[in-house]
Amino acid sequence: MKKYRPSNGTEGMGFIESFCENCIHEKFMHTNSDDDLKCEILSNSMLYDLSDPEYPSEWTYDALGKPCCTKYVNYNWDNDNDDDRFWIDPTPTPVPDNQLCFPFVLDEILEGHKELTKIFAR
């Protein structure tokens, strides 16, 4: 199988975001605990050149020719029942009626300004 190596940093970050950040083998990334080891595949991909025998063979291409990691095991970090510091509340924070929110409509602001001008002109 042909080994995969990102062609630039942006492509590499996209690959790491898609695979490593969601993989059980890179638990250290989420816990920063010394008990959780870093994945050697990610480390070796940055230490060695593609032609080196130590470069990970797990970073390869799938049947459709897309880059993948053959050791990838998806893990949902939000449901690990440890601590919820990575969990984000999906309910939006209520916004007071008198506060502008992005994206706002400029016409609404101008209408409000016209009304205020009429009130203060009296």
Residue 121 maps to a domain: no
Residue ranges in the chain whose pLDDT is less than 70: 30, 32-37, 77-96, 98-110, 112-113, 115-116, 119-120, 122
So what's the pLDDT on residue 26? Answer: 82
Task: Answer whether residue 56 is part of any domain.
Answer: yes
pTM summary value = 0.58
Contacts for 74 with CB less than 8 Å, ≥ 6 apart: 22, 23, 24
The domain containing residue 19 runs over which residues? 9-79
Contact 73, 58 (CB under 8 A): no
Predicted confidence (pLDDT) per residue in 1-11, tens digit: 799 999 999 99
37 occurs within a structural domain:
yes
Residue 95's pLDDT is 64
User: What own/partner pairs with CB < 8 Å and gap ≥ 24 does 12-18 have?
Assistant: 15/67, 16/42
The structural domain count of the chain equals: 1
